[in-house]
Structure 1
Amino acid sequence: MPNLTSNPIETLARLGYGARGVVYGLVGGLALLAAIGSGGQTGGSRSALQTLLAQPFGRVWLFLIALGLFGFCTWRIVEALTDADRRGSDLKGWAIRGAHLISGVIYAGLAVSALSLALGQGAGGGENRAAQDWTAWLMSKPFGLWLVGLIGAAIAATGLAFAWKAWRGDVAAHLSLPADKREWIVSLGRMGFAARGVVFVIIGGFLALAALHSSSAEVQGLGGALRTLQQQPYGWVLLALTAMGLFAFGLYGLVQARYRHIDAPDLDDAKAAVAQMKP
């Protein structure tokens, strides 16, 4: 269970890490079932959330997940604007904080989708349609093809960074772990970051192809990345390994909800820090 505190921002952050973990766990679990031929699906986050509708209390779970994802969005934005994680103001620090700010916006969109499903309003055209729509819009702007290509390269580079973190990085850097749990939690983290690295590289590749061919139809999200793996030689093995990694990252998210070190500012400090950044 998340370690809820009197600081509302920390509480939102912990609920957010837990909600993100549940989403990744759903995506990974469903993809693993698809890989071994036991049903399931190779869909993205929105598709995974939609499967909850058929479960007991599914709308309640969706509402709680939406609440958690809004909390994660809030934490990402506060973290980026106030440097709550002490990333620093050098180029690397600003790059990480910028990525977290973008992450906050993305998870806000996923939270809206979850809430829409919980309220019985559907989830729009899905993640691929949304990605293709914004790609088409961006391509219609001056230098749009170059921007799409650069975004694809940035996403692929993020995937490579995740892969590096899985191999050599300290996946427990922000976790306050009991000694007897550290080894298996680190293993979960490494599996999770490796799987995220694979899918981010593929998603970035889709965007690069879209820019190269001037076609937004090339763009695919997480579900498209998983289906691409499934279509390769021995694809069921590749999909199963990646799915297990995504499921592991889901469990790692629940660990973050409990054990992550969160030095969250109080509401007044956060407002002051944001105000200082205004011109």
Structure 2
Amino acid sequence: MKKELKDAADAVEDASNSRALVIAARAGFAVSGVLHLLIGYVAIQLAFGKGGQADQAGAVAQLASQPQGLLLLWAGFAACVALALWQTSNAVFDYGQLEAKKKVGKKLSAAGKAVVFAVMALTFAASASGNSKNSGQSTSDFTVSIMKAPGGPFLLVVIGAAVAVVGIVFVVLGCKASFKKDLRLPASGTGRSVITGLGVVGYVAEGVALFLVGLLFIIATVSARPQESTGLDGGLKALREQPYGVYMLTAVGVGLICYGLYLIVKAKFARM
């Protein structure tokens, strides 16, 4: 029985390292990059008073409105599924050579990324099948339902704190350029500088956006107004209402575009 389980695990690991899955996973990075480009563009529009939904669902909706939009949606779905599977494989099979503490951290990080890409895949599928829903309203409904459950407010604060901490981690990774160890950078000095610059600005902007989302979760829970927890779109719109918010939101939008460009570049240079 143990031998059969080991053979099955080996077969799964071999499949996860197949050339086809790796190519599809790289496409997943590119798809995520395109979504961030669209989110950044909408964020800049919001800064100047134009409407739009600055989150993944809004970006997917923009893709759906393009010629051949349905094909683009299903292609995005397939790419994100492949990347989710690849990250799941990393969480299960990889990092065995690392010391225990680092191994756990790497595996948890890969598992978290797998969940993110799985959610992105579901967003593509929902939009392609015509079942998409305003993500801000979905987030609000989610927080309201948890708020009513036993221990719900505490759980929401924990979720908000976790998202905010992830945002801080992104900022630190950006400032330290730690993301470079996940890349096979080109030999050209100019190319390396451009990719590093995109990564630094992009990681910091993504971190700021995530921190705002987490902060909104906490504030809405503490003030007993869970309907105000409206995800990334709500966080960016709340940023615009602050002093100098137009400039800060524009900067975040530009940063998200940089992060999108970085992810597109990562599709080619990522260590897989």
* 1:69 corresponds to: 80
Contact 2:95 2:107 in 1 (8 A): no
Structure 1 residue runs of 5 or longer lacking an equivalent are 263-279
Correspondence list, 1:70-85, <5 A? 70-83=81-94
Q: CA RMSD in A?
A: 2.3
* 1:276 corresponds to: none
Distance 1:102 1:81, change over 3 A: same
Q: CA deviation at 1:36?
A: 4.4
Letter in 1 for 2:22: E
**Residue 14 (1) aligns with residue 23 (2):** no
**Residue 55 (1) aligns with residue 63 (2):** no
Q: CA deviation at 1:210?
A: 3.0
* 1:115 corresponds to: 125
**Residue 164 (1) aligns with residue 172 (2):** yes
Distance 1:35 1:87, change over 3 A: farther
Structure 1 residue matching 2:159: 3-state secondary structure: helix
Distance 1:144 1:74, change over 3 A: same
Q: Percent of counterpart pairs with the same letter?
A: 28
Aligned residues: 254
Letter in 1 for 2:56: S
Distance 1:230 1:86, change over 3 A: farther
Contact 1:87 1:97 in 2 (8 A): no
Identify which range, 169-178 or 74-83, moves more after superposition: 74-83
Structure 2 residue runs of 5 or longer lacking an equivalent are 1-16
Contact 1:17 1:253 in 2 (8 A): yes
**Residue 144 (1) aligns with residue 156 (2):** no
TM-score by length of 1: 0.82
Structure 2 residue matching 1:173: 3-state secondary structure: helix
Q: CA deviation at 1:85?
A: 9.2
Contact 1:177 1:259 in 2 (8 A): yes
The CA distance in 2 between the partners of 1:253 and 1:145, in whole Å, is 35
Q: CA deviation at 1:65?
A: 1.3
* 1:234 corresponds to: 244
The CA distance in 2 between the partners of 1:241 and 1:202, in whole Å, is 14
Distance 1:50 1:88, change over 3 A: farther
* 2:226 corresponds to: 216
Letter in 2 for 1:67: A
Deviations 1:68-97 (A, max 9, x none): 11122212222222235976531x542443
Letter in 1 for 2:34: V
The CA distance in 1 between the partners of 2:212 and 2:125, in whole Å, is 28
The CA distance in 1 between the partners of 2:142 and 2:98, in whole Å, is 30
> Which runs of structure 1 show a deviation greater than 4 angstroms over 4 or more consecutive aligned residues?
84-88
Deviations 1:22-41 (A, max 9, x none): 1111111222234346x563
Q: CA deviation at 1:230?
A: 1.6
The CA distance in 1 between the partners of 2:51 and 2:80, in whole Å, is 23
The CA distance in 2 between the partners of 1:143 and 1:122, in whole Å, is 31
The CA distance in 2 between the partners of 1:86 and 1:49, in whole Å, is 39
The CA distance in 1 between the partners of 2:233 and 2:122, in whole Å, is 19
Higher helix fraction: Structure 1 or Structure 2? 2
